[in-house]
Copies of this chain bind each other. A is one copy, B any other.
Amino acid sequence: MSKIDFSHVPVKTGSIYPAPHDAEMAGRASLRLGDAGGLTQFGANLVILEPGAKSSLRHWHEQQDEFVMITKGTCTLIDDDGETEMTVGDCAAFPAGRPNGHHFVNQSDAEARFLVIGTRTPTETGWYSDIDMKIDMNPEGFAFTHKDGTPYSGEDK
């Protein structure tokens, strides 16, 4: 069956961020729709943000293109250009290697949702714009460190 049965897609909550940043992700959930449909080359996730929740820490990817379409409610895109309100049908693109950290924050009083597509690559480094942290990923796993590569302490160095 090519159509995705949402009733069988697990709702993922929580965060892989190290403390104290994991707590910042309260109110965010996601459905891994592409995985549910057997896709491997890109992620296709439906992200659900309760009022006040954010999609991620503000970040950019070295190697992976990212595309977003708002599907419910209103979100605020925050990047180096400032705040941009986005509503249903609005789209945004974040080319790999463009060092403009971005995230989406639900500043409304109702649930918001968006579809996000991101390429999968064997390795990747993601940089967090507002704190002294980066993530390195490879086929064995991932590691958060300070931007100089030393173990992440939970505070900017």
Contacts and interface: CB of A to CB of B under 8 A. Distances in A.
Interface of A: 1-4, 6, 33-34, 36-42, 44, 64-65, 67, 69, 71, 77, 79, 81, 84, 86, 89-96, 98, 100, 102, 115, 117, 119
9 contacts: A2-B77, A2-B94, A2-B100, A2-B102, A3-B77, A34-B65, A36-B93, A38-B98, A44-B91
A45 to B, nearest CB: 11
Contacts of A42: 41-42, 65, 67, 117, 119
Contacts of A3: 77, 84, 86, 90-92
A39 B44 CA distance: 16
A94 B2 CA distance: 6
Contact of A2 (B2, B41, B65, B92): B92
B77 A89 contact: no
Q: Which of A89, A98, A100 counts the most chain B CB atoms within 10 A?
A: A89
